[in-house]
Amino acid sequence: MNPGKILLVEDNPDDVALTLRALKSHNITNDVIVAQDGVEAIDYLFGTKAQPAPRDLPAVVLLDLKLPKINGMEVLQRIRSEERTKLLPVVILTSSDEERDVIDGYSLGANSYVRKPVDFVEFTKAAQQLGLYWLLMNRAAPPPRAS
């Protein structure tokens, strides 16, 4: 199993719990970093005075769009604008089915867009598929050389 981490950017604790459960139920045991809003996500990725950025980037970022403070699109924008995280796989995982969001997401450089099903069974299936794909099948870009 890829030791890569999953960065889950999600503000809804229920959804967090359910997502973690879904992943666990399919034996995806990778570390899951949870950021509960956009700021936390960015702080994590790029580091702060208190907590420096991690050496390894996550293997995939599961990004919800509707976030307090900074919303998902801005986070995505930020991720794509930094040299460090430019090629980081980002999967938009959101309830919204709005075309606008889909277009904007891809425009800003998301790698994938998945709508969260209400049906939990479906949800866990989706989680499994995502995990399998992004952690196993997908080959992420090599980390950038240390500057």
Partner 1 sequence: MALRDWPIKRKLTALLLLTSGLVLLLTSAAFVTYQVVTFRQTMRDNLSTRARLLAANSTASLAFANDADATEVLSALKSDPHMVAAALYDQNGHVFATYRADPAADIPATPQPDGYRFERGRLIGFAPVAQQENARLGTLYLASDTEAVSDALRLSGIIALAVLAIALLAAYALAAALQGRISAPVLVLAQTAAAVSEHQDYSVRAPKLGDDELGKLTDAFNQMLGRIEEQKQELQQYATELEQRVAERTRELEQSNEALRRNAAELAASNDELDAFAYSVSHDLRAPLRSIDGFSQVLLEDFAAQLGDAGRDSLQRVRAASQRMATLIDDLLKLARVARAEFRIERVDLSTLAREIVSDIQRATPDRHVDFAITPGLEAQGDSRLLRVVLDNLLRNGWKYTGRQLAPRVEFTAEDKNGGRVFLIRDNGAGFDMQYVDKLFGVFQRLHSAAEFEGTGVGLATVRRIISRHGGRIWAESAVDQGATFYFTL
Q: Which residues of this chain interact with partner 1, rule CB under 8 A?
A: 12, 14-15, 17-18, 21, 65-66, 94-98, 116-121, 123
CB of 12 to partner 1, least distance (A): 5
Based on CB atoms, which residue is closest to partner 1, 31 or 98?
A: 98
CB of 75 to partner 1, least distance (A): 16
CB of 11 to partner 1, least distance (A): 9
Based on CB atoms, which residue is closest to partner 1, 4 or 10?
A: 10
Distance of alpha carbon 96 from alpha carbon 8, whole angstroms: 17
Please report the DSSP string for 19-66 in residue order. Answer: HHHHHHHTT----EEEESSHHHHHHHHH--SSSPPPSSPPSEEEE-S-
Distance of alpha carbon 84 from alpha carbon 80, whole angstroms: 9
Based on CB atoms, which residue is closest to partner 1, 57 or 65?
A: 65
CB of 18 to partner 1, least distance (A): 4
